[in-house]
Amino acid sequence: MQEFQDSTRRYIRNTMAKEMLDAETEHALALAWRDDRDEAALHRLIAAYGRLAVSMAGRFRRHAIPYEDLVQQANLGLMRAAEKYDPDNGARFSTYARWWIKASMQDYVMRNISVVRTATSAAQKKLFFNLRRVQAELERESANRSEAMTHEEMSASVARELDVPRADADVMIGRLSGPDLSLNAPQSDGAESREWVELLADDAAPTEDRVLGGMESARRRAALARALMTLPERERRILVERHLSDDPSTLTRLGEALGISKERVRQLEERALARMRKSVTEAGVTTSRAA
């Protein structure tokens, strides 16, 4: 562990000692990469701004994620920025890279801070990364007035300060109020304590009902198949192409194929369905439709 930390410190020292590029050199390197795919120019550009990645990684240390991982993720954002940067857009590379590094860091923190997906929308991300700061400010102001804020007051104030929906503020405050807990954790310290997962309701049908339902479905399909085979060939073809095909045929198309009017196709279809319903009913299978 100590060796790993020493290696990180050496990397940071080396990164901070890299050259600083002036605007002209930076522009030339970016052009060389964009136009000629000059990997040496790309490497020099990334190395020069490694200090930016290290600096921004430090801002996310409060999220209790190993600093080494944060630095690595920040460098991934930096490399992504170098890949996408257009030197002719008028902005310095550092300005452009800052956005990509921040986005990369935020996504990484969101994925690793909790096993539960914490935020997906822009409003939720704003809440996640600013909630504790805003809460601390509100609590400090409340203490100065010798008052205590209720949960409802805190939620409303956070939503107003960050300009996000009140419901989002409620949910995020709840999510960040404590650590994740395993459903396999015991409910108490007793030897006979059950796990929390045992309290979850199972919405699935009982096993007996599922088995009987599957048997009934199989019986119904078999009865329908037998009824279908008893139909005259033309009526069977109409039902297959109208009801059992991935691309159901229209009355008009079937009429043209069979050399009859679409109204006649409709009549034959209704007759075939009636025959199938009768056949299935006689077989003792309950169904509202035969096809």
- Tell me the CA distances in angstroms from 168 to 108, 161, 184, 246, one per residue in order: 21, 13, 28, 43
Residue 19 has pLDDT above 80, yes or no: yes
Does 287 reside within a domain? Answer: no
The pTM for the full model equals 0.46
Greater model confidence, 287 or 99: 99
Does 79 reside within a domain? Answer: yes
* Side-chain-side CA neighbours of residue 216 (13 Å): 10
Does 193 reside within a domain? Answer: no
12 and 103: one domain?
yes
Domain that holds residue 276: 212-282
Question: Domain boundary residue among 88, 112, 136?
Answer: 112
47 and 84: one domain?
yes
Q: What pLDDT, on a 0 to 100 scale, did the predictor assign at position 196?
A: 53
102 and 19: one domain?
yes
Least confident span in 34-48, 180-194, 208-222, 265-279: 180-194
107 and 131: one domain?
no
Does 27 reside within a domain? Answer: yes
Q: What pLDDT, on a 0 to 100 scale, did the predictor assign at position 289?
A: 43
Least confident span in 1-5, 57-61, 85-89: 1-5
Longest Cα–Cα distance of the chain, Å, equals 90
Greater model confidence, 94 or 120: 94
Contact 220/285 with Cβ under 8 angstroms? yes
Give residue 185's identity as a one-letter amino acid code: A
9 and 49: one domain?
yes
CATH number reported for the structural domain that contains residue 93 in this entry: 1.20.120.1810
Q: What pLDDT, on a 0 to 100 scale, did the predictor assign at position 184?
A: 60
CATH number reported for the structural domain that contains residue 253 in this entry: 1.10.10.10
197-242 per-position pLDDT tens digit: 565 555 555 656 666 667 777 777 888 888 888 889 999 899 888 8
95 and 126: one domain?
no
- β-strand partners of 186: 195
Q: What pLDDT, on a 0 to 100 scale, did the predictor assign at position 22?
A: 92
Q: What pLDDT, on a 0 to 100 scale, did the predictor assign at position 82?
A: 92
Q: What pLDDT, on a 0 to 100 scale, did the predictor assign at position 288?
A: 45
60 and 127: one domain?
no
Rounded Cα–Cα distance for residues 240 and 244 (Å): 5
* Side-chain-side CA neighbours of residue 103 (13 Å): 11
230 and 276: one domain?
yes
Least confident span in 16-30, 80-94, 152-166, 183-197: 183-197
pLDDT bucket at 192, cuts 50 / 70 / 90: low
110-142 per-position pLDDT tens digit: 777 654 445 556 666 677 777 777 888 888 888
137 and 42: one domain?
no
- Tokens describing residue 109: 């923190």
Ramachandran assignment for 90, one of left (phi > 0), alpha (psi -120 to 50 degrees), beta (any other): left
pLDDT bucket at 290, cuts 50 / 70 / 90: very low
Compute the average pLDDT of residues 13-36.
92
Least confident span in 6-10, 180-184, 277-281: 180-184
Does 195 reside within a domain? Answer: no
Rounded Cα–Cα distance for residues 262 and 84 (Å): 59
**Residue 146, Cβ neighbours under 10 Å: how many?**
6
Does 142 reside within a domain? Answer: yes
Q: What pLDDT, on a 0 to 100 scale, did the predictor assign at position 291?
A: 42
Does 182 reside within a domain? Answer: no
Percent over 70 (pLDDT), the chain: 77
- β-strand partners of 195: 186
Considering its fold, how many domains does the chain have in total?
Answer: 3
Taken in order 239, 244, 248, 254, the sign of the CA dihedral is negative
pLDDT bucket at 52, cuts 50 / 70 / 90: very high
Does 86 reside within a domain? Answer: yes
Question: Domain boundary residue among 112, 136, 156?
Answer: 112
131 and 102: one domain?
no
104 and 133: one domain?
no
Question: Domain boundary residue among 63, 83, 112?
Answer: 112
